[in-house]
Structure 1
Amino acid sequence: MAEVSAEARIAAPAEKVWARLTDFPSYGQWNSTHTGFPGGGPAALEIGADFTENMRLMGFPAEVAWTVCELEPARVFATRGKGPMGVSLGMRYALTPDGEATRVRVEGEFTGAAVSLMAGKLKDSASAALDESLRNLAALVS
């Protein structure tokens, strides 16, 4: 298993950060691993909603079938997914108001036999991608 996380203080209220975080057509503007949603984002943003995302991590393309597993508007957005080679993924965004700003914490988890072979490189690559994505998100909403 490989676990990664990143955190940033974004100079915008949680509702504004949430609006961008859940605006699926604009994912490519801030999410550095995202390359597309073949069928668009989820039809309705609700627990149990399914959607497919094309990503690039460690230079490799991957298609991930996501399911929304936790949702609390302007607070928490979490998904679980299945990727190539039997890899399971989890992503969780938690937003915490901090005065007029918002603390955003992202946690990712990768499990599966293929992960154990490249856990170190995967952690480094995913951590860098999360940091870059939070910087991009902050630039869009600040």
Structure 2
Amino acid sequence: MAEVSAQSRIEAPAAKVWSQLTDWDAYGEWSMTHTGFPKGGPQTLEVGTTFEENMKMMGFPAEVTWTVEELEAERVLAIRGKGPMGVIVGTRYTLLPDGGATTVRIDGEFTGAAVSLMAGKLKDSATAALNESLRKLAGLLA
């Protein structure tokens, strides 16, 4: 298993951050791992919703089928997906309002036999991608 996380304070209210975070048409403008939604992103956002995403991790393309596991508008979006080689990916976005700003935390988890072979490189690559994603997200909201 490989676990990663990144956190950043963004100078925008939680409602504005949430709106940008769940704007599927603009998702690729800040998410460093996202390369496309083959079917246009989730049509609805509720627990149990499934959607497909094309991603790039460690320079390699990956197709992930996600399921929304937890959802609390303007607070939490947790998704779990199945990727190539039996890898299971979990991503959790947590928003913590702080006056006119919001602390955004992204936690990621990778499990599966293939992960143990590349856990160190995966952690480094995913952590860098999360930090850059948060930087870009903050830039869009500035």
Root mean square deviation of aligned Cα: 0.4
Question: Match for 1:100: what amino acid?
Answer: G
| CA-CA distance at 1:41 after TM superposition | 1.0
* Corresponding position of 1:128: 128
Instruction: Write out per-residue CA displacement over residues 119-142 of structure 1, whole angstroms, 9 at most, x where no aligned residue.
Output: 000000000000000000000012
Correspondence for 1:72: 72
Question: In 2, distance between residues paired with 1:119 and 1:9?
Answer: 28
Q: Which amino acid aligns with 1:7?
A: Q
Q: TM-score, normalised by structure 1?
A: 0.99
Which consecutive residues of structure 2, in runs of 5 or more, have no partner in the other structure?
none
Q: Please show how residues 109-128 of structure 1 align to structure 2 within 5 Å.
A: 109-128=109-128
More displaced stretch, 124-133 vs 37-46: 37-46
Paired-residue identity, %: 70
> Counterparts of 1:66 and 1:40 in 2: how far apart (Å)?
13
- Report how far residue 108 of structure 1 moved: 0.1
1:13 corresponding residue in structure 2: 13
CA deviation after TM superposition for structure 1 residue 103, in Å: 0.2
How far apart in 2 are the matches of 1:40 and 1:82?
18
Q: Report the equivalent of 2:83.
A: 83
Q: How many residues align?
A: 142
Query: What TM-score do the two structures reach when normalised by structure 2?
Result: 0.99
Q: By how many angstroms is 1:43 displaced?
A: 1.3
Which residue matches 1:59?
59
Aligned AA (2:139): A
Q: Deviations over 1:76-110 (max 9, x none)?
A: 01100000000000000000011210000000000
Consecutive aligned runs of 4 or more in structure 1 exceeding 6 Å deviation: none
Amino acid corresponding to residue 24 of structure 2 in structure 1? F
Aligned equivalent of 1:31:
31
**d(CA) in 1 for partners of 2:104, 2:71:** 15
Shift of 1:7: 0.1
Structure 2 Cα separation of the partners of residues 19 and 43 of structure 1: 15
Runs of 5+ consecutive residues of structure 1 not aligned to the other structure: none
Q: What amino acid does structure 1 have at the position aligned with 2:101?
A: A
**Aligned to 1:77, what secondary structure does the other structure show?**
strand
Structure-2 separation of matches of 1:136 and 1:69? 25
